[in-house]
Chain A
């Protein structure tokens, strides 16, 4: 399938989903759906580095939080324009601020991608394990900075006063849901494009045998940096609308470990070798968690995620997609 056709199909599915949700008319559906979509973006983003290149990133929560705090930062700037900038700039600045959310998302993507580049440059020359540990360390460093940075709320957190109604979409949550749908399309398309391009083949050589790839002239460091930047940028973009969604941000919620766990567990459970895996994993696990949160408790649903992750890693290393592929192959043989 060509990429334009793929995008068209995704768009149609997304639009159908939106219309269906709108017809049900329950705000809760949009709230729950937003979370699942957010996980699809995070899982797909993680998979670009983790699944294609084989470099485990434990810092998903960090990149997500970069997106979150980019929004908070520009919101705070918008609130205190007259204190920050010289007087002659106040009037033009007031025309621009508050920045519209789509602009914030793109900015957040740029910031997160840039941070990804810096971190990748520092650590990607090392063995994969060190990179994994470094990403974990990076999240904590970042959280410490945010906790100590009072401009974006520090440890007390920051309130975002959001409009209740948005033109065209009606409720704010519907607007956010639609934005997230667009992000999902962007993430899936990027992931699929990479998978089928020369870049994806390069990534696969790194995953399978980095030394051999290096020896055959694959520019491994450059490829890994590309993967880190793309993956980080997508995660940042997923985080940017979060303050609008939740209304109040504090470091504990932005850096929540469940983002890191979920964005690893979802691709691992779905299957890491193709763009379908994270999608399947995120849909299944995300929906399951929403159901479990309502029916049991939010702590139990995290336990379920952890146990499923361990279970799948041991029993089905290639995830659900792998299981299905095996079954198909088994049938065609017999």
Chain B
């Protein structure tokens, strides 16, 4: 039944894409809107996964609940990192090379620290719904994919509402375009950027919980998300949340089809290949201005 296989691959891809959207949301804000190349973001996602893992292993709480409780902590971490980044790099004008190296170092330190604490074994969480699945006709919806996807879409909707409806959200959009104009409106661009960056790190907490529900996690798992996340972000047109969502769903479907029909070992190359292609042909993204 080639057709059933295709349908199920597409459904799995859409759910995967929903999850990718959550993973990319943070980068879309920090890289797309604030121009901060936070390549350490996947590292923070893995950190979120491990926090969910520890609490779940001790108290059996649902990872998504843990992630929501951990949001303030991640927000604070984001503020701290932005403060360091601003004081050391941004304040002195454009020095993206050092900023990049800084985040690369952060990524590496996070990964190695997790390695030292937890070892290189795969870790997973124990939740009642992980084995189940909902089927409609020939279509299968594994719950472990469905739950992260739905919560992720809800989070994405919330972020989009926040960005387009609230004053701070609009100020974030503005700061990416014209900081001096924002200052004329008596808004401190640095404060706005700090808030936005903290939000972007906070999304990593949620994404981390989703990740560990979907699959077991090892400290180095963050690396394979770097390219994927940036691929989605660039493909979606930098800084556009709706564009990011569409691109995430697209990449999810393409990867899922590739792994169904050609084997999972090829799927990492798909998104990276797409990224290289996008950068070469249309760097402003599919939905870019």
Chain A contact residues, CB within 8 Å of chain B: 50, 54, 56, 58, 122-123, 126, 128-130, 132-134, 136-138, 140-141, 143-145, 147-148, 155, 257, 261, 264-265, 268, 299-300, 302-303, 305-307, 309-310, 313-314, 317
Contact of B115 among A129, A264, A299, A317 (CB under 8 A): A299
25 sampled A-B residue pairs with Cβ under 8 A = A56-B97, A58-B104, A128-B96, A129-B96, A130-B283, A132-B100, A133-B226, A133-B227, A134-B276, A136-B39, A136-B227, A137-B275, A137-B276, A141-B268, A141-B269, A143-B268, A144-B265, A144-B268, A148-B266, A155-B265, A257-B223, A303-B116, A309-B108, A314-B88, A314-B102
Residues of the A chain whose Cβ atoms lie less than 8 Å from the Cβ of B266: 144, 148
Q: Which 8 A-B pairs have the closest CB atoms?
A: A144-B269, A306-B109, A309-B105, A310-B105, A137-B227, A306-B108, A137-B272, A122-B280
Task: Answer whether residue B37 sits at the interface, using C-beta atoms and an 8 A cutoff.
Answer: yes
- B101 CB-CB contact with A under 8 Å: yes
Provide the bound-state CA to CA distance between A131 and B273, in Å.
Answer: 14
With A144-B266, A303-B116, A309-B101: A136-B109 Cβ-Cβ less than 8 Å:
no
Q: Is B57 part of the contact surface with A, judged by Cβ < 8 Å?
A: no
Task: Please give, as numbers and ranges, the residues of chain B lying within 8 Å of A148 by CB-CB distance.
Answer: 265-266
Contact with A along B243-280 (1 / 0, CB 8 A): 00000000000000000000001101100110110011
Using CB atoms, name the residue of chain B closest to A252.
B220
Contact A141 B276 (CB under 8 A): yes
**Does chain A have a CB within 8 A of B155?**
no
Which residues in A have their C-beta under 8 angstroms from that of B226? 133, 136
Q: Which among A126, A132, A300 is the interface contact of B283 at CB below 8 angstroms?
A: A126
Q: How large is the interface on B (under 10, 10 to 19, 20 to 34, 35 or more residues)?
A: 35 or more
A138 near B272 with CB under 8 A, answer yes
In the complex the two chains form, is B106's CB within 8 Å of A299's CB?
no
Q: Does A309 contact B269, Cβ atoms closer than 8 Å?
A: no
**Contact partners of A299 in chain B: CB under 8 A:** 112, 115-116
User: How far, in whole Å, are A268 and B97 apart by their CA atoms in the complex?
Assistant: 10
User: Residues of B contacting A268 with CB < 8 Å?
Assistant: 98, 101
Known: A307-B105, A309-B101. 5 other contacts (CB 8 A): A129-B37, A133-B226, A143-B268, A299-B116, A306-B105
Contacts of A136 in B (CB 8 A): 39, 226-227, 230
Whether A132 lies near B37 (C-beta < 8 A) is: yes
Query: Min CB distance, B99 to chain A, in Å?
Result: 8
B77 to A: closest C-beta gap in Å: 15
Contact at B97–A130, with CB atoms within 8 Å?
no
User: Chain A at the B interface: mostly helix, strand, loop or mixed?
Assistant: helix
A-chain residues with CB within 8 Å of residue B234 when the two chains form the complex = 130, 133
A314 in contact with B272 (CB, 8 Å):
no
Residues of the A chain whose Cβ atoms lie less than 8 Å from the Cβ of B95 = 317
- Tell whether, in the assembled complex, residue A302 and residue B112 are in contact, meaning their CB atoms are under 8 Å apart: yes
Residues from chain B with Cβ under 8 Å of A123 in the complex? 276, 279-280
A130 to B235, CA, bound (A): 12
Most buried by B among A133, A307, A309: A133
Alpha-carbon distance between A129 and B234 when the two chains are bound, in angstroms: 12
Contacts of A310 in B (CB 8 A): 102, 105-106, 109
**A92 → B minimal CB distance (Å):** 37
Say if the beta carbon of B55 comes within 8 Å of chain A.
no
Shortest Cβ gap from A319 to chain B (Å) = 11
- CA A155 to CA B264, docked complex, whole Å: 13
Indicate if the CB atoms of B272 and A147 lie closer than 8 Å: no
* Residues A313 and B268 in contact, CB atoms below 8 Å apart: no
Report chain A residues within 8 Å CB of B102. 310, 313-314
B105 in contact with A137 (CB, 8 Å):
no
- Please indicate the chain A residues that have their CB under 8 angstroms from the CB of B11 in the complex: none
Instruction: Report A321 CB to chain B, min CB distance, Å.
Output: 15
The smallest C-beta distance from B282 to any residue of chain A, in angstroms, reads: 11
- 1/0 per residue, CB under 8 A from A, across B209-227: the answer is 0000000000010011011
Whole-angstrom CA separation of A143 from B95 in the bound complex: 30
- Name B84-137 residues within 8 Å CB distance of A: 84, 88, 95-98, 100-102, 104-106, 108-109, 112-113, 115-116
Q: Is the CB of A145 within 8 A of B279?
A: no
Give Cα A173–Cα B47 distance, bound, in whole angstroms.
41
Q: Is B231 in the interface zone, CB < 8 Å from A?
A: yes
Which residues of the partner chain A approach B273 to less than 8 Å between Cβ atoms? 141
Give the complex CA separation of A215 and B283 in angstroms: 22
B127: shortest Cβ distance to chain A, in Å?
30
Contacts of A257 in B (CB 8 A): 108, 220, 223
Given A133-B227, A137-B275, A268-B101, A303 and B109 contact (CB-CB distance below 8 Å)? yes
Min C-beta distance of A115 to chain B, whole Å: 12
